[in-house]
Structure 1
Amino acid sequence: MSEKVVVIYSGGMDSYTVLHRAIQDGYDVYALSFNYGQRHVKELDVAKNVCDMFRINHKIVDITAINQLIGGSALTDDIDVPEGHYASENMKSTVVPNRNMILISLAVGYAVSIGADKVYYGAHSGDHAIYPDCRPEFVEKMRDVCAIANYETIDVVCPYLNNDKIEILKDGLSMGLDYAYTWTCYNGREKACGKCGSCRERLEAFAENHATDPLAYEAV
């Protein structure tokens, strides 16, 4: 019987790759998605469709109540989504306070309840400059805490922690993944905007891998 793992799955290209990396590695995957009040739920719809298609155990959990406590992010509040490259200073407006600590904590509780001993999430090196909760030191400390927070030891696994999005996509393409089944844009319109930091980084990853992004864009 395969070992159970929980994968925090947003529906974006990074978590989509992490999801399939866990499957490829032989785990029995339980995908966990969160509605935390992000400005659109398009990626959650994409996540549901992927899990239905591949018959992956999947839960979407509504935690929008936390918006009473945390805010000030362009991803959750009525703040314009910044455009331009991810490394730009204005991309800090997309930080959601304490998001990954909250999501990992909930995922660890779920892992304990189903008898899993690992939680996967998609932090990568391209996020280190902007997002403190994607940096190696955060992952290391969360791993330490999650090893002692319950009677059961839960490991926090980031298979691409020291890889950038170009390398993540390269691995996904080597697995034959179709990235038409992902949504990366910070906007939830019919087409990806092509201008936000998330779109720019995604398009650069495809260009560096000499591959064509299957998503339609308003502007590239």
Structure 2
Amino acid sequence: MKAIPLLSSGLDSVAALSIAAESLEIDMALTFDYGQRSAEREIEYAQKVCEHFGIEQQVIKLDWLAGITSSSLVNRDAEVPELSFEDISGGAPAEITEASAKAVWVPNRNGVMLNIAASFAESRDCEYLIVGFNGEEAGTFPDNSLDYVRAVDECLSYSTQNGVKVLAPLIELDKPGIVRKALETNAPLEYSWSCYHGGKKPCGSCESCRRRARAFREIGVKDPLLEKLGH
């Protein structure tokens, strides 16, 4: 069976691809550019991941999506929230992580991307879309949840002739669990970019950086990306 991953080059999407590649034929990968701060870095790193797996990368530009959002991921005049390890570990009021999620929310981003990817999958006779949705982020992002995956599958059963389905191998995992699975499958984590910013090195302070750092710290392993960058 064949599959197409949605590959942002983030920790989750790289881990999901690596896990799925053990049992599925990976046809190609899609990377989306919707004007996010880290777009250039994501595209660069996703290309490295594609080279690792020997697959084609296609970059899809969604300029219109940038034009309709005030998200700090896109809007350079807005500040990207910075969270502490305590904030993401349940030691702070839920309002803090909820506010962070709201600040980086892009209108129906996953819905748009999945439907575009489903068109590619149907046209290339692929049965699955691979996504990095996971249990940890489902708490603040409902479009990372198992309920959402099931709802999308139901919709795609009507909108694709071959009944494309969403495969989310990380759906029950937290970030430490994701890192463990990624390392077990020799995922190229040295080319996984999680930071909301697009600098030469991860900022280390945004929510995505914090969750990633905490995961590596909890399992006692150095982050391959930071080692590669000499950070």
| TM-score for both structures, normalised by structure 2 | 0.87
The 2-side partners of 1:71 and 1:29 are apart by: 31
Question: Which runs of no fewer than 5 residues in structure 2 stay unpaired?
Answer: 89-93
- The share of aligned pairs that are identical, in percent, is 30
**Paired position in structure 2 for 1:17:** 15
Q: TM-score w.r.t. structure 1 length?
A: 0.92
Q: Helix, strand or coil for the counterpart of 1:190?
A: coil
The equivalent of 2:104 in structure 1 is 94
1:132 aligns with 2:131: no
Q: Which residue of 1 aligns with 2:91?
A: none
Measured after TM superposition, the shift of residue 66 of structure 1 is 2.4
Please list the CA deviations of residues 65-110 of structure 1 after superposition, one character each: whole Å capped at 9, or x if unmatched: 2223x30211111211100044623312111110000000000000
State the shift of 1:215 in Å.
3.0
| RMSD value, Cα | 1.9
Give the superposition deviation at 1:29: 3.4
- Deviation of 1:180 after TM superposition, in Å, equals 1.2
**1:80 and 2:84 are equivalent in the alignment:** no
Work out which structure has the larger RCO, using CA pairs closer than 8 Å and 6 or more positions apart in sequence.
2
- Whole-angstrom distance in 2 between the partners of 1:53 and 1:157: 21
Distance 2:214 2:207 in 1: 11
Aligned to 2:57: 58
> Which residue of structure 1 lines up, in the alignment, with residue 4 of structure 2?
6
Report how many aligned residue pairs link the two structures: 216
Secondary structure of the residue aligned to 2:59 is strand
In 2, Cα distance between equivalents of 1:131 and 1:208: 23
State the one-letter code of the partner of 1:63. Answer: L
> Does the aligned pair in 2 maintain the 1:23–1:29 contact within 8 Å?
no
Rounded to whole Å, the distance in 1 between the matches of 2:104 and 2:210 is 15
How far, CA to CA, are the matches of 1:63 and 1:71 in structure 2?
Answer: 12
User: What's the CA shift for 1:190?
Assistant: 1.1
8 Å CA contact retained: 1:5, 1:27: yes
